Chains A and B, each alone.
Chain A
């Protein structure tokens, strides 16, 4: 028997009463799940697509929507701590069709990332630049040719397959193996990212210019001149360029899925979620600022433009991602390798967790009778072998698409599925106090905070919805990003991918609904609140 520190009450010894995870532990977990190394190629994407973008300032812009979304997730997690996340929140607050469709969209987005995360992080921007960098440092044309060779469709496909197998393997062993291995990958990735940042900081621009001129076969000043871009920064393009930075913040909410039985103010969770967004901003902003210090913003914009537009003036073997450019800051093979490994490790770790996440989503759909029960079948060791194997086969399909077709353009369009998902989660947060009044009124004080009489979750949810809806539009608007290339039928498919995914989700749910209805079960009852009076 004890008394609660946060109330006058007396608590008795009873099953399930545990101590809360410390804020520090949760903060570290969140931070390591957010991929700093992704900034290496996001810098190239942003600079190419939005010339004049100011990457460090873009981080400041990215903080705002990220904090807003993080706050919404935090409050919903405190209000409903054991639900397992946005699938149930949205189903409960809006309706089950929207909840399933949103989760389906995000799951499909994750599935295509089985290939693109490895394709980009491991092959295109990981191993290839590493080999090219070593080739330049050692004067080895063989290494440079190898760097180019692996970018061809078949080698890309084979490498993706190999790393998909590496990523999926721990899932067949169990949850502890999966997260243990992913944790190691994330630590390696973070270490490599810090090495890269310090490598840039140790090389003032004059050093970078000298090394670039002597090693690259190009001239620093000529690069800027030939690109012909206006010098300085554009506020508009900085805003648009922040889109990619925002995508790096995924992972801030890992700690939101657990809370103690006796409801506490959960300050430690607030520290973890909001703290991880702020600290991550410092890290990623640090990488960008370090790169600008050494490489120079105008040069980065210019060289990205020359590389991305296929200019004949571009003489480097691979794209100018930061982990490739670092070799001109610090011509040290160890730095080149560690920088490349940072991305490789991030890709593997991310996909390891993605396989687990998708299978867990399948379980949830199966328990809610939206999908067949065999999706949740376990083998004798308690591992969902069938589900994992099906996911691996799907990932092979996406690997084929990535390697042999132009559907890599899916990346930008499929990221819309994530931003739409977050927009819907924010919307559910905004209307939560009104749709689930009783739950809201019985939640801890941090959930019920108001500003001018309006619940803070409503304010933040509404802002988050508008921001994420705008980002979703910006991510696919031809006025902002490059339209898809290829034959008209390919363009049509790419444009249709997102609305088709949404329609698929709605159709799947409706088919399941009517099938279960014929068996006497009304799935609308799944999340409807029973009146207590």
Chain B
């Protein structure tokens, strides 16, 4: 089944609130050979939450994505402020564009991570390459 041609512009339900813990930040830092010093989160940490939003997109039956045919093509994070332990973040994913190149669907997504006050903390832009 091809990817839904009306995918561009669709927003998906927000993820459940995720409280960033010192323990998780330490685990994430250690997994990349670093150590967490108690301050700002590592700059790629938002992927932990954005990934859940992307899984929501990829497992939606109306979207038509075959999970095993998806490659992560590109990623960018754009911050309003650093993430800190104690932040409770929610991610909402919007599909920004859908293009076809060489038989593959290029799906550009933006996941906006907001805090408990509803303020935007970081936007995670992920391009997914889906081959039929």
Partners in one complex: no
Q: B interface vs A, CB < 8 Å?
A: none
